[in-house]
Structure 1
Amino acid sequence: MNRILKIYNSLQGLPMGKRLFSYLTCKSAPYFGSIKPLFVELAPGRCVIFMKKRKSLTNHIKTVHAIAMCNLVELAGGICTDVSLPEGVRWIPKGMTVEYLALAKTDLTGVCNIDLELLKNWDFSRDFPASTEVYDTSGAVVMRGTINIHLSRKKS
């Protein structure tokens, strides 16, 4: 089992286990701490992260800033990819495309789903797309983003 997934699963029985996992993730990759993510669900092929709308994440029109949402997309897509990879495969993000679909006026949830069969059979000749949708509290998609991920075999 993937190291990140082992840590996540081991903390789920503890009070505030999801918060502790989220904190540890941000200690490992400090920039993501700016959005104060809360991992809600993590499994191979799926990652769900909650992000509270806070003043520090808003822009001049009092909506969640696009770059804060990009952080959510990158975190969900990257972690979902990491826990979904077959043994012996590594990854690095190469780029990201995003679509701003609506103003983000509420708390947000980023959801990344990866087709495990597709990932398992990926041919490494092109980047793997890890797509994340960002939802507001009404369930509307406010952003859609795709992380283009370079996959390669780990060196032995």
Structure 2
Amino acid sequence: MSRQINWPELLAALSVGALGAFMVLKGSELSLGSLKRMGPGYMPVAIGVALIGFSAGLVIESGFAARRPFPFSWRPVLAVSVAMLCFAAAARPLGLIPATLGVVVLAALADAPFRPLRAALTGLVIATLGYLVFVVGLRISLNPFWW
């Protein structure tokens, strides 16, 4: 295997770094607060710094890796992107459980042999756990169903 630049991996790492830089920039406009009393800008800045660190590590690692570039496929990118957009649009009107079930089934379309039964069962488990954690445990005001 030759040492050639894996452009998709490098561009993905730089995109993660750009997102981190954006989060640091926008988060620093808000009050950071302190460790004992975190302000609204604390978490965006902390996550942004972590993303920049991951990005730097990925860029360095991709420069030393001697492997073939992975084949790029649009199917996973589109399936996961559509799933996230559908969840954002469906969470309030349909409720947490149907929206979570839908996002898992749509994201499962990214896998080449789509298995609808496994996707539905996984979605039901994740939706139930999401309901227990966010609605019951954290008391977030999100209806489990549309009724």
TM-score greater than 0.5 by the shorter chain: no
The TM-score with structure 2 as length reference comes to: 0.24
Looking at secondary structure, tell me which structure has more strand per residue: 1
The TM-score with structure 1 as length reference comes to: 0.23
Structure index of larger Rg: 2
Looking at secondary structure, tell me which structure has more helix per residue: 2
